[in-house]
A = this chain, B = another copy of it.
């Protein structure tokens, strides 16, 4: 007898051992959501799962703040287009931006493995300094821990961030409405494929660089223009598929994506085909979707196109009424299929 309950056919899968942590528990899919809901949310917070967003909103003596945290465990530490340091800045400022907050300050916690080269640490810290400067955010506090050789993986980084919310919008999954369009700010899947190629020593005709970048400037353009942004979500672990599924569930809506409209670079598409990946599930680190009332879609696209990071923004789908939350994809050949979240993730440790 184990604590995992009665034996069912599902138990023959390695993922069916619910008594121990699996890599898939960190993958952004259904297993991670289950862990978060059953272990963390139920015990630690009073926020219902459906209100969960990239950052928490906090009122502090009259100031409306966004607060978020992420740990970074990416392997390899250095990859085309970035490293764990720049990623740790981009990921956290982007989470703040997704709440419509202007990122203000960050904390940084390092967990260093005994024996790690200080020269590498210096390169990582340099890239953090540069990324923070670009994103207009200050690093104001930090912490350093060292763990025994063999108990880490070079370096793990946690960043937490505070942003200020300077508008009256309620940017959150629950604000998504039938009639909204979904805009993505650029081509998807480059971060995950860049990591995978580096990790596995794969060579494609061109080097695929991660899309890791701060999206704060793009978001600020939408807000400054007074666009009625309903929701934003960055496409990290679990990719576009996880993002739209989470939001469809939280808002109780149907989301229809148009495959032909979703920008995927040709080299990324080829790599996905070789590796057997679905680009909809591959992580990005500089891409986000925004939910905008259709009447403001053109204005929103205008704002995004004015920012170099979002020059190729386009509409990739729409929101409609449904009895049951659902995501569908209109394929290139005109059929329609359901888009699910993966249970785990195609690629572990991409952030």
Contact = CB atoms under 8 A, between A and B. Distances in A.
Nearest to A61: B63
A143 interface: yes
Which has the most chain B C-beta neighbours within 10 Å: A24, A60, A112? A60
A272 interface: no
Interface stretch (A113-121, A224-232, A239-247, A332-340): A113-121
Contacts of A69: 107-109, 141-143, 158, 160
Interface of A: 3, 18-27, 32, 35-36, 39-40, 43-47, 55-56, 58, 60-65, 67-73, 104-105, 107-119, 121-122, 125-126, 128-129, 132, 138-148, 150-153, 156, 158, 160, 162, 164, 166, 348-349, 351
A114 B61 contact: no
A301 B327 CA distance: 63
A56 B140 CA distance: 6
Given A23-B146, A23-B148, A26-B145, 18 more contacts: A21-B112, A22-B114, A22-B146, A23-B114, A26-B144, A44-B142, A56-B141, A60-B63, A61-B63, A61-B64, A67-B162, A69-B109, A71-B111, A71-B143, A147-B349, A148-B153, A148-B349, A158-B158
Contacts of A18: 118
9 contacts: A22-B146, A26-B147, A44-B139, A60-B63, A60-B164, A61-B63, A69-B107, A111-B111, A156-B156
Contact of A73 (B19, B27, B138, B147): B147
Contacts of A147: 26, 73, 153, 156, 349
Contact of A125 (B3, B43, B46, B114): B43
B141 A71 contact: no
Given A61-B62, A164-B60, A71 B21 contact: no
A93 to B, nearest CB: 14
Nearest to A69: B107
Given A40-B142, A144-B25, A19 B117 contact: yes
Contacts of A144: 25-26, 32, 35-36, 40
Contact of A132 (B21, B44, B117): B44
A349 B145 CA distance: 8
Given A21-B112, A153-B147, A60 B65 contact: yes
Contacts of A26: 112, 144-147
